Structure 1
Amino acid sequence: MAYEIPVTQARAELAELINRVVYGGERVVVTRHGKPLVALVSAADLERLESLGESAGETVEEPVISSVSRIGGLTSAPGERQRFGIAAEHRGPEVR
């Protein structure tokens, strides 16, 4: 089971979290508003995950890329850019 921590606390304790993952063998899930955002896993765990994907005939990146592509066309809710301090936005390739 993974250790869950809010993103604000993880930011303050990043060095300690890295040590827990590397030396303690823990997996850490960083959350925002109780929802998982990212996971910290050891390099060895990542290699195992990648090899599982390769043995299934796909790379780990393929499902991620297709997921991002599906949501790429969505627009942010009004005010979200300012709320999160986003200063730029991806507009895709220009059509000439």
Structure 2
Amino acid sequence: MAYEIPVTQARAELAELINRVVYGGERVVVTRHGKPLVALVSAADLERLESEEAAEREQVIRSVSSIGSSASAPGERHRFGIAAEYQGGQGPVD
């Protein structure tokens, strides 16, 4: 659970908040009008979060890449009103 603090109080206690995050392992959420505005996390936490995001993106890319392309089932183009199908050529010829 993160420690919440209003932005006005956070301004006055910034050095202490940084110490709580770095040395106490806490996460601090700065609020404005009771709503979360920003979070203070350690550099190690940020690095871990960024690594997880990168791994998730890579997983999505691998999943999509593994699907590949497949030919349309007979009648499927007509059913969806598709008049043509890409056949993977070299493109238009001048």
What TM-score, normalized by structure 1, do the two folds share? Answer: 0.59
The match for 1:30 is: 30
The match for 2:65 is: none
The match for 2:86 is: none
The match for 2:39 is: 39
* Aligned pairs for 1:39-78 within 5 A: 39-57=39-57
Give yes or no for the alignment of 1:10 onto 2:28: no
Count of residue correspondences: 58
Q: 1:21-58, CA deviations, whole angstroms, 9 ceiling, x for partnerless residues?
A: 00000000000000000000000000010001000016
After TM superposition, the runs of 4+ consecutive aligned structure 1 residues lying more than 3 A away are none
Structure 2 gap ranges (5+): 59-94
The match for 2:61 is: none
CA RMSD of aligned residues (A): 0.9
